[in-house]
Structure 1
Amino acid sequence: TSVRWGGTANSIGMGAIVAKRAGDGNARCAEGLANPSGCRTRRVGIQPLPMSAPQRLDLPIDADFPVELANELARREVFNKHHYRPNSYLHKWWARRCGTTFRLILKGLVEDEALRDFLAPAGLQGKIILDPMLGGGTTLHEAIRLGANVVGADIDPIPVLQARATLTQVPLAQLEAAYQQLTDGLWRSLGAYFAVETLAGYMVPLRFMLYGVRRACACGPAIQLDSLDLRPHDEVRVDPERLGVWQGDRWQGAFIDLPAGVRLIDKRSRHCASCGEKFQVPPNLPYREQLVPLVTVAVCPEAGVEYRPVSPDDQMRLAAAQLAVSRTWQDAAFVIPPGPKSRDLHYRGIDNYRDLFSPRQQLYLWESRRLLAEFPPEIRLNLGLLISTSLEFNSLLCGYKGGNAQRPGAIRHVFAHHAYGFPYTVVENNPLFEPAGRKASGTLGQLFHDRIRRARQWAAAPAERVPAGRGSQQVPLPGEKDGGMAVLTAAELAQGQRRFLLHHGSAVDLPLPANSIDYVITDPPYFDSVQYGDLANFFRVWLQQLLPEAADWQYELDAAAIDPREPVAGAAYDYLAVLGGIFSECQRVLRPDSGRLIFTFHHGKATAWAALAGALRQARFQLVNYYVVHSESPASVHINGLNALTHDAILVLAPAVNREWQRPGWPAHADSEQFTATCARMLGWSLSNAADETDLPAAWQALLSSG
């Protein structure tokens, strides 16, 4: 199977070069020049600007990129990125770009045309590629698969630890044995807390417990749920009159210990029908005390999946867990710092991360920390990250979606909307539940299968999913491996292949000699977009307990391009200053004759583009070319209905090039692709023509406020 990198069939370069390419003297014809009127264009003309000692512009990506192929692959991958690249999804991270897009970017740097095919293994042997803002690790994984040696840096320890775990080739058999040892130990310590008795008298593991939330009005107390239907197709429902649970035509029992006169309502009931007051959280009630345990869910050997009201024995187990956990963690280590996303927690009186976890979930973390100490470092790293990422499915911020017949799975994970959410039906998952012959959302066993077992099997023999009729087919890539050998010094990158060097710290000062990097490929933070550093605290406070020796857990806030604390008036300046320092360091380490800085970017605000342009000007980069590609599904829950951009600009930059860009006309704000293309052209003009950095904000504001 062949999927061509270049050629008219699969490539539409949004910035194909009109000027003569250095080295071959052949002119490329464009289909259109920059259009001041704002109409759609598919290619943009670039005129040569006299300059001494210009860069060679003979890399394939300087002139062309298979946009149509990239779009077709991305539209498929964007819905299930973890299926396309399972080995880079060990731990939760945000805003990952499509791996197929970055593979195509890297193929555009391959000198041997025979190895430039999308499905051709290798092509980057002997090259050293840097990602100074590592994030989800896409660049490192894609580059190492093609034979390159790689360097990754990040100010946050989580991306660095994830890259180290997933790129280090630990035998799967060792990970399997260690996982079994870990879970055996957890069951011995915690099994009694997660036990439940079915109505038929069987003692079985709890699958999960459902909680409602306390509300009140002038008429008295209420308990609110997302829906009174718990499983529509099984006809499992809460009866608001009898205050209990029906499963089909079987009465499963009544709830116990409810306040006198309590009403059971769903989230649509915002105001009391009697007094007209809005249902409110009772005053001064801590978050965990707002939650009322109502329903246990387990698998009965006779009845199958069984929903029944919480029993006195269940309450005794909850009380025992509360007593046990009181002897464990100290609150001081889990204080929630201020932040733009954390303010949602503070607003609800949640000031400590422990308040987001049930006593049983906290015991799970306490015992995991004890057991992890028994394993060698690389095994401990993998299992520690697995336990940490399981918290997204094992927190009191997890919602229940089993009541919606259109939504698969039982648990809505914490960051389904890239922010903290507060469900009305809260799920306390059992992380140790392992059902026979069925999947269990968010359990440690399911996560181990998906993120370690299946991921490492794929990493040992990667395959690409390519279009085939109405579906896709997996194509093996013999000779590729998604993994390599860790090194400690830059000198070790000069030999061998698939070596990786990781740096936890700011990329403004990298442990690399000048002119030692062939290409920088990255995905910088998007100015004022989702505050990943703030959200990552949710995991970081526990990772510091689980893996205390694995990283320097002091987070250097002042060196982050996006400050995870409260935003301040000078955010644009800080973004410019930090990115400018990183880009300047990239310029220092790039090879002077052929080095490229390539990254993806999109944003709707003039301040973001002006800050980016200022940072690049500070580092003396100019735009060689750009391509606009599909990056995000409009159905994604965190952008749905927000008129958000669904395209990225791939920006190809070099320190010194003969390129002059025309200033574009106004963008079509309603057209994501054309808007992104206009911004990319404006960036080229900003880097080669704007007289002073102080002119940039006004120039960008004038462009994006028009149209």
Structure 2
Amino acid sequence: MTTHRKKLIEVSIPLEAINVASAREKSIRHGHPSTLHLWWARRPLAACRAVLFSQLVDDPSAWPDRFPTPAAVEAERNRLHKLIGGTKEAEYKDGLVAWESSNNEAVLNAARWEIARSVAWGLGEEPPPPEDGAAILAYLQAKAPPVYDPFSGGGSIPLEAQRLGLRAYGSDLNPVAVLIGKALVEIPPKFAGLPPVNPASRDQRARGGRWQGRGAQGLAEDVRHYGVWMREEAARRIGHLYPEATLPDGSKATVIAWLWARTVRSPDPAAKGAMVPLVSSFVLSTKEGKKAWVEPVFDAAAPDGWRFEVHTGTLTKVEEERLKKGTKSDGRGAGFACILTGAGITGAHIRAEGQAGRLGARLLAIVAEGSRTRIYLSPTDQQEALAASLANDERVLDAHIGTLAQAVPERLTGGTCYAYGLTTFASLFTPRQLVALTTLSDLVAETREKVLADAMYAGLPADPSSLAQSGTGATAYADAVATYLGFMVDRATDRNCSICSWDAGPPGSKSSTGGSARTAGVRNVFARQAIPMTWDYAESNIFSESGGGFLSALDWIIPAIQRSAVPIGPGGLFLVDAAKNSFPVRPVIISTDPPYYDNIGYADLSDFFYVWLRRCLSGIWPDLFRRLTTPKEQELVATAYRHGGRDQAEAFFMQGMGDALTAMRKAAVDDGPLAIYYAFKQAEVAQEGLTSAGWSSFLQAVVDAGLGIDGTWPVRTEMANRMIGSGTNALASSIVLVCRKRAQDAGIATRAEFIRALKRELPDAIAAIRRAGVGPVDMQQSVIGPGMGVFTRFAKVLEDDDSAMPVKTALSLINRVWDEIENELTEAFDAPTQVALAWFATYGFDARPSGELITLANAKNIPLATLFSSGVFQDLRGKAGLVARDDLPDGWSPATDRAATIWECVQHTIRVLNAEDGGAEAAAALVAQMGQRSEDARALAYRLFEIATQKGWASEALIYNALAQEWPRLAEMAPAVIARGPVAAAQATLF
């Protein structure tokens, strides 16, 4: 059997630091690649960077001649952990995974050198000097295997591979995803270091200015310049369609948004056929002291006998709750109520009217820009009439029969508006939005011609090869700028659509960057993964300076271009079906984030953007936009409604994913692990646990493809305290599966042999996982790795009837053996700790009649007096209970307490760790004095976490999870405490 050098990811990674950085990344927007263009369920860059690094760097145990002792191996492993994760004292902002490190050449070069060192040692060579960044990059380009992600999606993995100096490739079935990846990975390096070509920049340089930009900053400046020109030219052509609002004092103000309410004909004959509004809320702003709302007014002179008036001021709580109901109905089976008669309006009636094309719209309110505030105005006939006059505009009619006439998904996991008559993408937009967006789309091609002329004038090579043909001259540069301008249009569609709603800005809500309470504004279409029906919608002024304005897209796109990973090396994104085994690059390191069973229908969702990109860019990227919509049938998602039922959908997913995984195995290098992400749906785990259909089906596909599983690392984008608080404690955002090609000579085992192997190998594996810093909240998923490693070591495991054991059964057995190991560990604790565990599992820290404790003491054959004298239990005269942490005595030491228990070790460590005059050093002193009991104490913390979680004691569970994760640092500090002498160690615990 071939022996491979173990990679770091197969042994140990700094999981806590990776998870902290991944969770923190969610609050980072400025310059993040995700702001270039929306894509769903992106993996955090921090996780991708750490996983890729750990896939390529050897674990020190692979080099016994260089790291000959366990201590040397552990020291080197800890050094690599610090390089990846940084230090807790710096809140992990000094490691490779930190957002601050994404463009820190010193940190990145250190990581690249580690990769180069592992590659060089494997080839019997020495790496370039650590300080020679250029030589390191050249070596990696020449000698390191390329990275390939066959499900590249939003491009996070190829981008991070490129940042680490590797040749980076990816592919996807979805052309929108491929174009996003090209814009992040492929385009910026082509034009890295070039100064901008726009006339304003040229004139500045001609006057003596010097271009001092780096990387893709020149490209970014040109995108900004030509994006502004596009906006100004569009405003010149159609700006009159976006008039200013007249304020009560007669002055003018820029409109931020027009708020509309859809209308439907009342089903009540008493309403005499009137169209009545469907409003989800009449509240426009909830800002204290400046609340704004709409009141419907009955007016016989108004159309259909009613109109809207806007009011500002203060509201009572009762009034605000009434207004927040809008026209929604309290009646059974009715979604809304007729404002004229109060009759219920059912969803069936609204759907029927919508499908017949009979839904209307009335202006609800106008939001204007004031001096550092929003001004809310009542609708006017003039503003309403102008918008209505565009219904028969030639551009609107063309949109309804052109590219935008493609069908909206009839069914979508998160909901769709199709049932209400919004059946084409054109129907999702108001006439004014269609005029504006088609005008801007058409301007992309015109702007490209300006860029081309300016690029030629600036001296770029007159190479006629297009960007799609791998050109690098003026033609390709014009294509590149136009691509980002197409993204500007696409970003604008997400906030200029009749699915957008108005966010009244609830009090106390935080902005995405953690700032003050957000102000009211326009929500984008994809606030969730759906195209839902919106009853009252917000129409942005595309020429305003607000979030719905066209130029606001530049504020997101430009930083993303500027922070791209250039200049580094080659990268490429391809339009490829992963299941077809047609990888254009091989052999490769596989690191990928594949579809997740039935989680997200990317193809259906992305058509919203595809139809606009096709209109803007089909001439530049003809191969990507040759179809009318994105491919659907081949998409690897187990969608029951697409495949004729749940069973058929699962069979489709299994077959396709199996083919894709087989293709990955064939394309992968022989001496490196594959990393495959899997994301859990919360409901999936809550209902079925870790043997859920999606998870077990995915693992089954991995096994059937001839891959063995070496490890499972839970990566989360929510911190453990939030997850426990919400009742989803042991749920990682995703799990990284570490796989190897299974040996061709793998044997066959029986069920009994498999269980014996689990019992033999899991204890050491679990201990190693704990030493690696995996906290209790992530243990269940992490234990799957070594358990599946045993299972996939064999070609198959036979059941008693000689049938092959499925993965779902193997998962159950792994969990069962893990429980048995944990129970055996409990039995190894001292008797008072065993009694304390049993009491805690039943009563927590509550007191109960002493008879309850007597029963437990007799079961463990320990005198009651011993329990009271141990410092674990307290005698409350007829009652008994565990000694609360706040009541534990100061100055306790496991070195001086002759009857010290493991329970006391844990509880006292928590006490001093969280004490105002204690902290990590005092806790480390206790750990130092525990000696061999230290590992038992840490194991008890894991067990207490499990009990607290099962009981729903969230705050208590958090305490034990935090202690277990802190333990490696305390153990690392312990030798220094011991070195200062026993007196110093004892004094550290005295308060």
TM-score by length of 1: 0.75
Q: CA deviation at 1:238?
A: 1.6
Cα distance change on mapping 1:314 and 1:576 into 2, 3 Å = same
> C-alpha separation between the residues in 1 aligned to 2:374 and 2:695?
53
Please state how far the C-alpha of 1:340 moved relative to its aligned partner. 3.1
Deviation at 1:191, TM superposition (A): 0.7
The structural deviation recorded for 1:579 is 1.7
Q: Return the offset for 1:378.
A: 0.8
Q: Describe the shift of the 1:644–1:67 C-alpha distance in structure 2 as closer, same or farther (beyond 3 A).
A: closer
Of the three residues 425, 428, 433, the one matched with 2:544 is 433
Instruction: Please tell me whether residue 238 in structure 1 is matched to residue 316 in structure 2.
Output: no
Does the 8 Å CA contact 2:362/2:384 hold for their aligned counterparts? no
For residues 350-376 of structure 1, the C-alpha deviation after alignment (integer angstroms, 9 at most, x for no partner) is 211111111111112211221111212
- Asked whether 1:402 is paired with 2:504, we answer yes
Q: CA deviation at 1:382?
A: 0.7
The answer to whether the 8 Å contact 2:410/2:419 transfers is no
Moved more, 102-111 or 353-362: 102-111
**Are residue 121 (structure 1) and residue 108 (structure 2) matched?**
yes
Residue 443 in 1 paired to residue 514 in 2?
Answer: no
Is 1:247 paired with 2:312?
A: yes
Checking the alignment, whether the CA contact within 8 Å between 1:522 and 1:600 is kept in structure 2 is no
Q: Which amino acid aligns with 1:528?
A: D
Match of 1:535 in 2: 605
2: CA distance, partners of 1:430 / 1:635: 41
Which residue identity lines up with residue 169 of structure 2 in the other structure? V
Give the Cα separation in 1 of the matches to 2:784 and 2:43. 19
Q: Which amino acid aligns with 1:615?
A: A
Deviations 1:224-282 (A, max 9, x none): 43332212322222234574112349xxxxxxxxxxxxx99615543359767356555
* Structure 2 partner of 1:558: 633
1:97 paired residue number? 43
Listed as ranges, the matches of 1:679-698 within 5 Å are 679-680=784-785, 683-689=788-794, 690-691=796-797, 695-696=805-806
> What residue identity is the alignment partner of 1:103?
R
Report the counterpart of residue 257 of structure 2 in structure 1: 208
**CA displacement at 1:694 relative to structure 2:** 6.4
The residue type paired with residue 155 of structure 1 is L
Larger radius of gyration: 2
Match of 2:365, as an amino acid? V
Alignment of 1:215-226 (within 5 A): 216=266, 218=268, 220=271, 222-226=276-280
Structure 2: 5+ residue stretches without partners:
59-75, 85-94, 97-106, 116-139, 189-215, 299-307, 315-322, 332-336, 449-477, 510-517, 748-753, 764-775, 820-991
Q: Which residue, out of 129, 142, 145, partners 2:163?
A: 145
- Whichever structure has more strand as a proportion of its residues is 1
DSSP-derived class of the 2:758 partner:
coil
SS of 1:622 mapped into structure 2: strand
Identity fraction in percent: 20
Equivalent in the alignment of 2:23: 75
**Distance of 2:263 and 2:721 partners within structure 1:** 32
Match of 2:438 in 1: 366
| Distance (Å, rounded) in 2 between the aligned partners of 1:425 and 1:642 | 34
Shift of 1:377: 1.1
CA gap 1:529/1:512 in 2 versus in 1, 3 angstroms: closer
Match of residue 591 from structure 1: 669
Match of 1:309 among 360, 375, 378: 378
State whether residues 533 and 563 of structure 1, in contact with CA within 8 Å, keep that contact through their aligned partners in structure 2: no
Residue 925 of structure 2 corresponds to none
- CA separation of 1:676 and 1:166: change in aligned 2, threshold 3 A: same
Range 504-513 or range 310-319, more displaced? 504-513
Q: In the TM superposition, what is the alpha-carbon distance from 1:217 to its structure 2 partner?
A: 5.9
Is 1:270 matched with 2:330?
A: yes
Deviation readout 1:474-516 (Å, 9 max, x if unpaired): xxxxxxxx145xxxxxxxxxxxx52111111212346657852
Residues 388 and 542, structure 1, Cα contact 8 Å, conserved in 2: yes
The equivalent of 1:161 in structure 2 is 179
Question: Are residues 1:506 and 2:577 paired?
Answer: yes
Tell me the distance in 2 between the aligned counterparts of 1:516 and 1:621.
16
Distance in 2 of aligned mates of 1:224 and 1:635 = 40
Q: Which has the higher contact order (CA 8 A, sep 6+)?
A: 1
Q: 1:207 to 1:380 in 2, by over 3 A?
A: same
| TM-align CA RMSD | 3.6
Letter in 1 for 2:344: E
Over 3 Å counting, the alpha-carbon distance change for 1:558 and 1:634 in structure 2 is farther
Aligned equivalents of 1:343 and 1:268: distance in 2? Answer: 19
CA contact (8 A) 1:397 1:426 kept: yes
Check 1:306–1:585 CA distance in 2 against 1; reply closer, same or farther (3 A cut): same
Work out which of the residue numbers 791, 798, 809 in structure 2 matches 1:699: 809
1:350 aligns with 2:368: no
- C-alpha displacement at 1:672, in angstroms? 6.8
Q: Distance in 1 between matches of 2:500 and 2:721?
A: 21
Q: Is 1:570 the equivalent of 2:676?
A: no
Q: How many angstroms does 1:621 deviate by? A: 1.0
Q: Secondary structure at the match of 1:214?
A: strand
- Structure 2 counterpart of 1:465: none
Q: How many Å apart are 1:75 and its aligned residue? A: 2.6
The 2-side partners of 1:372 and 1:580 are apart by 41
Query: Structure 2: how far apart are the matches of 1:644 and 1:448?
Result: 39
Task: Look up the equivalent residue of 2:571 and give its one-letter code.
Answer: F
Higher helix share: 2
User: Contact 1:339 / 1:566 at 8 angstroms: preserved in 2?
Assistant: no
TM-superposed deviation, 1:154: 0.2
1:231, 1:186 → 2: CA distance?
31
Task: Provide TM-score, normalisation by structure 2.
Answer: 0.55
Alpha-carbon distance in 1 for matches of 2:485, 2:157: 24
Paired letter, 1:231: S
Give yes or no for contact 1:651–1:680 (8 Å, CA) kept in 2. yes
Residue aligning to 1:331:
401
Letter in 2 for 1:620: G
Task: Specify the alignment match of 1:197 in structure 2.
Answer: 245
Pair 1:679–1:566, CA change in 2 (3 A): farther
CA contact (8 A) 1:198 1:298 kept: no
3-state DSSP class of the match of 2:739? strand
Q: Which amino acid aligns with 1:244?
A: E
Q: Number of aligned pairs?
A: 592
Task: Note the C-alpha offset of 1:347.
Answer: 2.3
| Aligned residue number for residue 228 of structure 2 | 180
Q: 1:340 to 1:662 in 2, by over 3 A?
A: farther
Cα distance in 1 between the residues matched to 2:679 and 2:373: 50
Structure 1 pair 634–558 and aligned structure 2 pair: CA distance change class (3 A): farther
Question: Are 2:286 and 2:507, in contact at CA under 8 Å, matched by a contact in 1?
Answer: yes
The 1:382–1:157 alpha-carbon spacing in structure 2 relative to 1, beyond 3 Å, is: same
Task: Tell me the amino acid that sits aligned with residue 508 of structure 1.
Answer: A
Task: Decide which moves more: 687-696 or 348-357.
Answer: 687-696
Distance 1:416 1:703 in 2: 40
Deviations 1:510-557 (A, max 9, x none): 66578521x111111110112222211221222221221321443333
- Structure 1 window deviating more from structure 2 (571-580 vs 325-334): it is 325-334
Q: Which residue identity does 1:207 align to in structure 2?
A: I
What secondary structure is seen at the aligned counterpart in 2 of 1:579? helix
